[in-house]
Amino acid sequence: MNFDPENKVVKLCAQGMQAEAEGKIDEANACFKQAWDAATNDFERVTAAHYCARNQPNPLINLQWNLDALKYADAIKEDSLKGHYPSLYLNIGKSYENLGDFASAGTYYQLAADNAIYLPEGGYGNMLKAGIADGLKRTGLKPFSNAVLDGLISAWCERKDLRPLSLVLSAYLQCMGTESDINKLITALSYLSATRCLSAEEQGKVEEIIAELAG
């Protein structure tokens, strides 16, 4: 589905985000509500509902808007919308978490993780992956993890060894266990291995992790 920056609903939501950035929350919410009232198709309803969920002091209303956004997204049934689902599921998970329903929250965080393969490369996708991983942890579920690497990272943090942390930590925290994310982690670990900045013991562990992940 093509994104049209001139679409009336999109423009109203953009105005709302600008007002929100300026601290004008009431004005922002008014723009989002205008966008909802102006929506005439499912794509516009997804967009408006997503923004109407923002700044809602009542967690039940926040949840309902997020569920509405998902409902209208499901009605569209277009592959081009797949990249939106991680965010939709993440928002619903957080809504349930705010209501204390950790079982439902975990379900939606896991759905967000399962759909993370559709996220774009770069800052936006990385930000969502980090949020999904945090949500999984808070609800008692495990994102991708490796016990040996956990131990290495703990040791590097303890001795404030910034070089290995800078090379590996971002790829590890954003890893959802998908093939693409695993490959990124292997690449990061391979760069670290090539620097030969670790002790022989830690170097050996890194090489073992690479072999395990590549296998």
186 assigned to some structural domain:
yes
Examine residue 2 and state whether it is found in any structural domain, yes or no.
no
Same domain, 105 and 173: no
Whether residue 118 sits in one domain with residue 190: no
Which portions of the chain are predicted below pLDDT 50?
1
169 and 127 fall within a common domain: no
Question: Do the domain assignments include residue 170?
Answer: yes
Q: Is residue 205 part of a domain?
A: yes
pLDDT tens digit string along 18-37? Answer: 999 999 999 999 999 999 99
Residue 3 covered by a domain: no
Q: Among residues 82, 146, 144, which one has the least CA distance to residue 116?
A: 82
Q: Are residues 17 and 83 part of one domain?
A: yes
Of 94, 118, 138, the one marking the end of a domain is 138
Asked if the structure places residue 1 within a domain, the reply is: no
Q: Are residues 159 and 134 in the same domain?
A: no
Residue that finishes a domain, picked among 116, 138, 160: 138
96, 169: one domain = no
Q: What pLDDT score was predicted for residue 3?
A: 63
Assigned token pair, 95:
């809504």
* Res 34: pLDDT: 97
Burial-class residue 94 by CB neighbours within 10 Å (0-12, 13-18, 19+): buried
Q: Say yes or no: 86 and 52 in one domain.
A: yes
What is the per-residue pLDDT for 80?
83
Q: Taking Cα atoms as reference points, which of 132, 128, 112, 109 lies closest to residue 120?
A: 128
The residue written with tokens 């690449």 in the block is: 187
* Same domain for 128 and 102: yes
Number of compact structural domains in the chain: 2
Distance, CA of 193 to CA of 204 (rounded, Å): 9
Query: How many CB atoms are located within 10 Å of the residue 178 CB?
Result: 18
Decide if 26 is inside a domain: yes
Distance set, CA 207 to CA 12, 41, 99, 129, 168 (Å): 52, 53, 44, 25, 13
Full-model pTM: 0.76
Nearest 10 degrees: Cα torsion 178, 181, 182, 184: 160
Asked, for residue 120, whether it belongs to a domain, the answer is yes
Rounded (10°) angle between helices 85-98 and 102-114? 170
Q: Tell me: do 106 and 174 sit in the same domain.
A: no
**Are residues 183 and 79 part of one domain?**
no
Return the pLDDT at 46: 95
Question: Tell me, what amino acid is at 4?
Answer: D
Phi-psi region of 23 (alpha: psi -120 to 50; beta: other; left: phi over 0): left
Range of the domain at 69: 8-138
Q: Is the Cβ–Cβ distance between 129 and 119 less than 8 Å? A: yes
| Residue 120 sits in the same domain as residue 205 | no
Indicate whether 78 and 176 sit together in one domain.
Answer: no
Domain boundary among 105, 138, 171: 138
Q: What is the DSSP annotation of 64-97?
A: HHHHHHHHHHHHH--GGGGGGHHHHHHHHHHHHH
Distance, CA of 109 to CA of 90 (rounded, Å): 6
